């Protein structure tokens, strides 16, 4: 059964953060369902089905299912995703300190003791933020 459509799940893409690309294939009983993803325009990369934007802007990606189209041809569909800038914490306010402490405490649990995998996109501002103890 050839593919009639692919719908990309709603995603929020933030620069520097990696998120999985998930999609639904129609009809549900399509014969071929393995999607290959490719960035066709924009500053992003896809590795093992996860997209990471390097800077903000429109990213165009292509979903391809080999042999999933009519008469055994490939089925292809293009999607545009907007990548937003990562939010930056500014200043030395009490709110920012509490927020950072919350992230650090909780990301350890979420990443099985490896918080560096969770906080890759976290940016501290201003430039001397590392001199301040959080």
| Residue 130 reports pLDDT greater than 70 | no
* Cβ atoms of 67 and 35 closer than 8 Å: no
Q: What is the pLDDT of residues 90-110, one digit of tens each?
A: 555 544 555 555 555 555 444
What lies within 8 Å, CB to CB, of 126 at 6+ separation is 90, 91
* Cβ atoms of 122 and 101 closer than 8 Å: no
Say whether pTM exceeds 0.85. no
Q: Which fold has domain 5-84?
A: Immunoglobulin-like (2.60.40)
Whole-number Å distance between alpha carbons of 124 and 100: 9
Domain boundaries, the chain: 5-84, 94-131
């Amino acid at each position: 059964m050839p593919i009639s459509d692919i719908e990309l799940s709603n995603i929020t893409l933030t620069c520097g953060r990696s998120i999985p690309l998930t999609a639904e294939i129609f009809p549900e009983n399509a014969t071929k369902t393995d999607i290959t993803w490719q960035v066709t325009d924009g500053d992003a990369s896809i590795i093992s089905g996860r997209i990471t934007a390097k800077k903000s802007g429109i990213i165009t990606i292509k979903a391809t299912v080999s042999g999933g189209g009519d008469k055994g041809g490939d089925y292809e569909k293009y999607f545009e995703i907007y990548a937003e800038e990562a939010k930056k914490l500014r200043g030395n306010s009490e709110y920012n300190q509490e927020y950072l402490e919350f992230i650090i405490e909780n990301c350890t649990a979420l990443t099985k003791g490896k918080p560096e995998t969770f906080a890759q996109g976290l940016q501290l501002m201003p430039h001397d933020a590392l001199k301040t103890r959080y």
